Structure 1
Amino acid sequence: MRIQSRHPAPAQRIEPREIERADAVIEVLAPEGWTDARVEAWLDWAAEDQNDRAFDSEAPLGGGPARYADRLARTGLSDGLFGDAADADAFRDALLATMLAGVASPVGASAAPQRLPDIGEIEFKRAAEGHLARWRSARLAVKAAALLDAALAQVGDAVERCHGDAKACADPSKNSALGRAARRARELGADDVMILDAIALAGGPRTGLIEPDAEAPAPVVASASRQGVAAVDEAASFAAQVGWETSALILALSPEDAETLARGAPVRAAIDVTAFQHDESFDSAGFNQVVGLWATALEIERGDRPAEIGLAGIGDWLLIQGLSAAGDAGRDAASALWALTVGAALSASAEAAAVLGVDPAFAQERQTVLRGLAERRVRAAALRSPLASEAAAALAVAHGLARKHGLRSSRLVAAFADPETALRLGGKALGHAAAAAPVSTAQTADGLLVPTFSAAAHLCLTEAGADFDAARRHAMGHGSLAEAPAIDHLVLQARGFTAHEIELAEDALRHADGLRAAFTPAVIGAGFLSDVLGVPAEALADPNFDTLTFAGFSEIEIEAAERHALGARRLSDCEALEGELRALFAAIEAPALADRLAMIAAVETFTCLAVPAVLDVPFDARPADAARLQAAAARAGVRALRLNRIAAPAGFVLRLPEAEAEAPKPARAEAPFAEAPPAPVKERIVERVVERIVERGGRARRKLPDRRKGYIQKAAVGGHKVYLHTGEYEDGEVGEIFIDMHKEGAAFRSLMNNFAIAISIGLQYGVPLDEFVDAYVFTKFEPAGPVTGNDSIRSATSILDYIFRELGVSYLGRDDLANADPGEFNADGLGRGEGVEDGAIEAEPLPASKFISKGFSRGAAPDNLVFLPFGGRRDQEPRPAGPLQTGEGGDVCPACGDLALSRKGGLVVCDSCGTQAGDGSQGESDAG
């Protein structure tokens, strides 16, 4: 293979640079104009990705890129890929030149996800639950370990702070602080041995109990049906819950893509496409050369691993041309560029296969791969882009070489993302059509970071003829508070700030993230804030202390001044720009989900590999929201997706109701008539929803008495006879029920009998009857309809509805469950009796034998015992109180019990037995 020596970009001047590393300050040779962060990213790659960790201060970027290029050149020469040493040297020089020019970069290896079964298979749920359980355990272990470690540290501190006898200080019964700390540690799960160890280690060094990164979940991949995910079926809903909770589940919408994603950690490289855009033309020849160069490098490096090549700066490339990722023209342009990449990369892979051999995977799927290349060529030719014809031609060349030599890698091009590689390429984002933010930062000669427009945004504004100065002021502000609204120099001086403090804040504005950061105590000075503004010492100790708020400025005033000084950091709402230009920047700053999914689907028509579309889910979203987002991506046509739940903002606090204060216990009175203490005066009444939790001691079964009372109710529901038999405790509480059906099938009758047994067991174990009533009333199934034979229930929606209506009315006083006339009930629930007109109260007493079982009482109840119709219902008017009037209905005689008391003059006389009683209205008896 002969390598052309044409460099894709002019070489940059190399200059010495001092870089502050974690352990030392080093001097390194780096390209001119690169930021320190970009240089450090290359140094980190060399240290992590290469076996040789030697640092060469005489070589650019510590010698890492040179060692990488030299190693691949020597390997390619030994494998016979290069004809001679000159070809190998040319390959090495070209590869090194692309790295030092910032055009291309290797990508650090990433771990391959674990393969799970298809989400529709039963094995998936078991595997996913295991994955979820491990992640939850690790996550909770981190939280619990932190709390437990802090509690054990307090145990040691309680011993260390104690002054006196050492044995007494280490004894929880004698050191009260130690006792409290030990109890707290025990409540958090520490056993007594751990507490004893913490006491013994008091004063010594302590370490954490668990690694802090134990909660990071391992990625997993599973295949799924596109139709099922789009329809949010049961399997897709469960998968959405797993992805919502862990952010680590990749759903591939075809089994082939799932296998490819789990095939192993690939070797990767990325190319910056903006380096090939010159004015209004794209250097296709130079781009093809660099793609082929790095495809060859990956074929040499990969060995038995898969190889992937990606692109960076697609969104910036579109912005330079005035195209939006939200429009059809932008999607066609991006698709054409990816198609061109596939053609150039697979052509290089075919040339490598002629020397190194064909990949066994290609031999198995040869016809599928060739047919896919032919289809891509047809689709590329139909794109509305200047690169469409060149992309179709490149794919045709790749198709011919693949038929002749085969392919070393049939899946070589993927739209993956990697933040570290983006940093090495100068902030160019990797992915389908990602773009850098229009407002970024630049490093000055003295190392100061200042806001500036990205190169793509600068070119776009210039080409569009926009008001550059107005756009800069809108996005990056004036850099000063002079003439700022609400908070300018004069206002600050009126609030007590001197020219010295204002100057300090103005200097801090150059590199501050916000206006508040320029007025922190560390900038302004704690002495000034304490002496002049009167800030308390405890407020200054708070790391979140806000100087401007303390000085009396409102949130609206702070935001207005901050926007004047530091700008909006965006261009999508800049009124100085035309509407189309604002929409162009809006597509970069806040892309719509539908537009992003459409771009991903368009690009993946040409790429060789599926890359999961990352779907961000708000931290407070529910699993159902995640399932709907997942369905939208499936309907848009993406090949794979991953839910990513955004972390909660720092300092997020869930608002909880205030804890109820425990009511003070009343003091025991020393005398029977001791005066109770006055009730405390409530300053404010706050309504709260309080949940009462009743704890019952143990789970013992409360047995019914051997001889028990109850009642039997016969009724018919929808023509089906049903007998309800109850058994009661001594206090009248129901403890068992029996249900018998007349002329029903054996299976139905047996089911009802066993249902009654289950209810009875629940009642005897303490389940409240009202829980059963609430659970079963209004249940609907046949038989249902009119109810006959029951004086309080006239209809029911099922047998269970009728039974628990009857129990609720009879034992719980739930008259609301009775659907008969409410007037049919008096205070004792006995009714009026037959033939009584509305409004009339039955005066005739009823014999007790109507309500008390003679068999249960063994005949002990006397025959003359009656129930009297006392009182009235709550909804009736009470009888007027006062002395009896002659001729009115009588009252009960205390001697004979007859209703025969009547007033005769100043006396009340019983007409039956002649007993006389005094005037009750005078408060004493005259019959004494």
Structure 2
Amino acid sequence: MRIQSRHPASAPCVAPREIERPNAVVEVLAPEDWTDARVEAWLDWAAERNDGIFDPEAPLGGGPARYADAVAKTGLSDGVFGDAADADAFRDALLATMLTGVASPVGTPAAAQRLPDIAEIEFKPAVEGHLARWRSARLAARAAARLDGALAQVGDAVQRCHGDAKACADPTKNSALGRAARRARDLGADDRMILDAIALAGAPRTGLIDADASAPSSLVATASRQGVAAVDEAASFAAQIGWETSALILALSPEDADALAKDAPVRAAIDVTAFQHDDAFDSAGFNQVVGLWATALEIERGDRPAEIGLAGVGDWLLVQGLSAAGDAGRDAASALWALTVGAAMSASAETAAALGADPAFTQERQGVLRGLAERRVRAAALRSPLASEAAAALAVAHGLARKHGLRSSRLVAAFADPEAALRLGGKTLGHAAGAAPISTAQTADGLLVPIFSAAAHTCLNEAGAELDAARRHAMGYGSLAESPAIDHMVLQVRGFTAHEIEQAEDALRHAASLRAAFAPSVIGAGFLSDVLGVPAEALADPEFDTLAFAGFSEAEIEAAERHALGARRLSDCEALEGELRALFAALETPALADRLAMIAAVETFTCLAVPAVLDTPFDARPADAARLQAAAARAGVRALRLNRAAPPPGFALSLPEPEAEAPRPVRAEAPAAEAPPVQVKERIVERVVERVVERGGRARRKLPDRRKGYIQKAAVGGHKVYLHTGEYEDGEVGEIFIDMHKEGAAFRSLMNNFAIAVSLGLQHGVPLDEFVDAYVFTKFEPAGPVTGNDSIKSATSILDYIFRELGVSYLGRDDLANADPGEFNADGLGRGEGVEDGAAEAEPLPASKFISRGFSRGAAPDNLVFLPFGGRRDEQPRPAGASGDVCPACGDLALSRKGGLVVCDSCGTQANGGPQGESDAG
């Protein structure tokens, strides 16, 4: 293979600078326009590759040069290059792309563990085993951290003790040590561990377990797109696992699941913004660099898979004034990724010509070739200037693959990697990740200052925007002078001198917030305590707010911060046109639907699926996660992973204080026999004791499948209503149905759903009397006389009637019954007391009037009757003196009327006699 590099082989202009490393300060040759953080990222990459060599004479410590040299030598020995000259040209071109910041190797991620499909019965036990181990590890890590802290306090108690060494190490003599030892024992430490902690007091301690022991490993399982989109039972369970662990990847095809579960791949990323020059994209140079790195990965990978990705796609779209939320932006990004696939696959085919095709390609040859042909057709249909070039590149790759085969059937993936993004100057990797319009630059003295990103600057220039106005809005004035809320004069009035104001102004150049510029470490603790009178304990608080203590309100602080530091965004800059503001809004806060649409569009061309990360708040519920999962499946993504945010620092649940236990009454002991009796004046103390009765918790008490109840037909104010009830075996009501006729559909639907809500409340333990008390006497139309009900003759509303009927029938609330239309009519007023009607003689009734023959299935005999004493208001005991008055309590014929009461002479039961001779007519 002959390498003809279009990229300059000479290294960029580099200069020495000092970089602070974890163990030393080193002098490094690095490009002059790179930040220290970017240089450190390259040094970290070299250290991760177990490359302990540091060459101060080579750029970036020699790490990129050693990598390029190793790949070139391996390629020459394997026969990829024809001679040493080709290998050297390849090495120089590869090194140049790294030193100019065009491309970077990427660290290898850990491979995910393959699980069965979520719909298979093996999935649940497999994932539950992983979940149990993860929970155990997390609990063990927290318990070990608490125990380690307790044992450290044991050693500290010994160290803080001054005096005899033996006494300081004795828990019986050192009270602080005794308290610490008891706490360690309560947390699970045995006495030997406590003794060891005492003996090791002052010695350096090591952690009990690895800090990452509780981190879950990645799991990947296949899932049906239709099932996930419909949130079926399997998808709901998978969402619960992903919600809890943030580690479950759902691949919506078996091929993608197998690829995601392979060994850790070797990776590289290319910055696409380096190839955009004015209005033109350097397709030839881009194809050459993609082919260069595809060849490098094919040489380096051995038996592992290889992946090549892109960085800065969002910035590249911004330079052209395109939004990831629009069709034009999605087509442009798709064409770019299609061009990448064509260039990478061509390089893979050329490598296969020298090394032979991969055995995996031979097995899936037809599918791979068909996929390349389909991508070429789709690329040609894109509305983008790169569409034709992408289609041509895919056609070339298809021809070479047919001729030579491929070393890698899947080579291009839209993966993300923060460290690689830092090595590429902050260009985010991924499908078309949002580009931040505000970047940072490093001054000669090492100070980081905010600036517009190169992409945002180009976009604003091309749009003819007012750069100064946009800069003031996004990055502020850099000073509090002439601030609308907190300026120098206001600060002086509040007690700040010119010295403190100057200190804060200097800090504003690199502070992240206005409060940070006025922190005690900047202003000076002495000034705050001596002049402003800040207490010492307040200064010790790391969250101390100087401006708030000085009397400035939250609104004043926010306005001053916006003046000095800017809004750090352009989406609400009034100096920009509406379309330009919308473009930056789509970059700064991309909508989920737009992001998913971009991922789906790009993944129609990439070779490998990358899980779409679906971020959920820490307080989201599993149902929310399942809905988010379904939205991603419907959008067309190939794989997804839920990522639940961590709770904010200091998060704590608001729990009620424990109730103080009521003092128990003390019973005086009986005096001894030999002691003289003592008379004690007894004092009776009345106590009100509240008893809390649990009604079955929050669990739902379901009704039996075959249930009893009754149907009551009535009319309220001429509006017909049917009340159906369902009962538990013990006769307690558990559900109601309300049917109405000749009413509007909306009203009937509301009544039906109201009945469902009441039924659910009853089945979850809400007492019926709570509903009755809440809804009787409610007033709205229809209202008025009630016909068809033998106990209720008028009602102020439909709900008043329904809950009167339920109260009378199930709670014995005869006070809710009214015998005539005059009582509790539509005006809510009764007829008054002392009005009585004629009595009606109650007769025994057959049991079939009250017991359903169908429900009992013939088990109830036909000769059963109900005696009158078991009735309701129309079946009250007859007046005293009448024959056959039966006591409903004891069953004795001993009822007699005494004044307004009916009294049983046998058992003494009393009852209100009620109006005599009430009529059923109504």
Match of 2:731 among 802, 807, 814: 802
Question: Within 2, Cα distance between the matches of 1:162 and 1:677?
Answer: 53
For the 8 Å contact 1:250–1:642, the answer to whether it is kept is yes
- How far off is 1:459 after superposition? 0.4
Who is 1:640 aligned against? 639
1:784 maps to a residue whose letter is K
For the 8 Å contact 2:101–2:425, the answer to whether it is kept is yes
1:670-749 correspondence to structure 2 within 5 Å = 672-673=680-681
Question: Within 1, Cα distance between the matches of 2:84 and 2:263?
Answer: 33
Q: Deviations over 1:203-241 (max 9, x none)?
A: 554333222221111111111110010011111111111
- How far off is 1:531 after superposition? 0.7
Who is 1:25 aligned against? 25
- How far off is 1:79 after superposition? 1.0
Who is 2:703 aligned against? 779
Question: Within 1, Cα distance between the matches of 2:583 and 2:809?
Answer: 68
Change over 3 Å in CA distance of 1:526–1:831 after alignment to 2: farther
- How far off is 1:132 after superposition? 1.1
Change over 3 Å in CA distance of 1:667–1:196 after alignment to 2: farther
For the 8 Å contact 1:8–1:290, the answer to whether it is kept is no
Who is 2:245 aligned against? 246
Where 2:657 maps in the other structure, the secondary structure is coil
Change over 3 Å in CA distance of 1:178–1:876 after alignment to 2: farther
Question: Within 1, Cα distance between the matches of 2:313 and 2:909?
Answer: 91
1:337-348 correspondence to structure 2 within 5 Å = 337-348=336-347
- How far off is 1:848 after superposition? 9.3
Change over 3 Å in CA distance of 1:36–1:668 after alignment to 2: same
- How far off is 1:120 after superposition? 0.8
Question: Within 2, Cα distance between the matches of 1:261 and 1:655?
Answer: 42
- Please say which of residues 7-16 and 648-657 is displaced more in the overlay: 7-16
Question: Within 1, Cα distance between the matches of 2:244 and 2:35?
Answer: 37
Change over 3 Å in CA distance of 1:80–1:781 after alignment to 2: closer
Who is 2:627 aligned against? 628
- How far off is 1:846 after superposition? 5.5
2:309 matches 1:270:
no
Who is 2:545 aligned against? 546
Q: Deviations over 1:436-462 (max 9, x none)?
A: 311111111110000111000000001
Change over 3 Å in CA distance of 1:74–1:205 after alignment to 2: closer
- How far off is 1:635 after superposition? 0.3
- How far off is 1:285 after superposition? 0.6
Give the number of equivalent residue pairs.
764
Q: Deviations over 1:564-589 (max 9, x none)?
A: 10000000111110011011111111
TM-score for both structures, normalised by structure 2:
0.77
Who is 2:307 aligned against? 308
Question: Within 2, Cα distance between the matches of 1:331 and 1:624?
Answer: 30
2:39 maps to a residue whose letter is V
Who is 2:788 aligned against? none
2:908 matches 1:869:
yes
Change over 3 Å in CA distance of 1:596–1:786 after alignment to 2: closer
Who is 2:842 aligned against? none
Who is 1:231 aligned against? 230
Who is 1:34 aligned against? 34
- Please say which of residues 425-434 and 161-170 is displaced more in the overlay: 161-170
Where 1:53 maps in the other structure, the secondary structure is coil
Who is 1:917 aligned against? none
Who is 1:380 aligned against? 379
Question: Within 1, Cα distance between the matches of 2:499 and 2:647?
Answer: 39
1:21-170 correspondence to structure 2 within 5 Å = 21-49=21-49, 51-158=50-157
For the 8 Å contact 2:890–2:907, the answer to whether it is kept is no
Q: Deviations over 1:529-573 (max 9, x none)?
A: 111111111111111111111111111111111011000000011
1:165-180 correspondence to structure 2 within 5 Å = 177-180=176-179
Change over 3 Å in CA distance of 1:359–1:529 after alignment to 2: same
Who is 1:453 aligned against? 452
1:557-572 correspondence to structure 2 within 5 Å = 557-572=556-571
Question: Within 1, Cα distance between the matches of 2:874 and 2:78?
Answer: 112
Question: Within 2, Cα distance between the matches of 1:380 and 1:9?
Answer: 33
Who is 1:724 aligned against? none
- How far off is 1:840 after superposition? 6.6
Change over 3 Å in CA distance of 1:840–1:192 after alignment to 2: farther
Q: Deviations over 1:732-768 (max 9, x none)?
A: xxxxxxxxxxxxxxxxxxxxxxxxxxxxxxxxxxxx9
- Please say which of residues 650-659 and 546-555 is displaced more in the overlay: 650-659
For the 8 Å contact 2:141–2:209, the answer to whether it is kept is yes
For the 8 Å contact 2:369–2:401, the answer to whether it is kept is yes
TM-score for both structures, normalised by structure 1:
0.77
For the 8 Å contact 1:354–1:405, the answer to whether it is kept is yes
Identity of matched residues, %: 77
Change over 3 Å in CA distance of 1:548–1:871 after alignment to 2: farther
2:237 maps to a residue whose letter is F
Question: Within 2, Cα distance between the matches of 1:333 and 1:361?
Answer: 32
Where 1:250 maps in the other structure, the secondary structure is strand
Name structure 1 gaps, 5 residues minimum. 680-689, 694-767, 788-793, 806-811, 852-864, 878-928
1:483-882 correspondence to structure 2 within 5 Å = 483-663=482-662, 672-673=680-681, 771=696, 779-782=703-706, 784-785=708-709, 797-798=726-727, 800-802=729-731, 819=810, 822-823=813-814, 838=876, 850=891, 867-872=906-911
Who is 1:747 aligned against? none
Where 1:147 maps in the other structure, the secondary structure is helix
For the 8 Å contact 2:868–2:875, the answer to whether it is kept is no
For the 8 Å contact 2:5–2:288, the answer to whether it is kept is no
For the 8 Å contact 1:115–1:262, the answer to whether it is kept is yes
Where 1:251 maps in the other structure, the secondary structure is strand
Question: Within 1, Cα distance between the matches of 2:95 and 2:488?
Answer: 53
Where 1:12 maps in the other structure, the secondary structure is coil
Question: Within 2, Cα distance between the matches of 1:795 and 1:237?
Answer: 35
1:470 maps to a residue whose letter is A
Change over 3 Å in CA distance of 1:222–1:772 after alignment to 2: closer
Who is 2:747 aligned against? none
Question: Within 2, Cα distance between the matches of 1:774 and 1:393?
Answer: 64
Where 1:59 maps in the other structure, the secondary structure is coil
- Please say which of residues 191-200 and 164-173 is displaced more in the overlay: 164-173
Where 2:122 maps in the other structure, the secondary structure is helix
Highest CA radius of gyration, 1 or 2? 1
Q: Deviations over 1:485-505 (max 9, x none)?
A: 221111111111111111111
RMSD, aligned α-carbons: 3.5
For the 8 Å contact 2:9–2:92, the answer to whether it is kept is no
Change over 3 Å in CA distance of 1:773–1:292 after alignment to 2: closer
- How far off is 1:47 after superposition? 1.3
- How far off is 1:407 after superposition? 0.5
Change over 3 Å in CA distance of 1:48–1:178 after alignment to 2: closer
Name structure 2 gaps, 5 residues minimum. 669-677, 712-722, 735-766, 770-805, 817-866, 893-903, 916-922
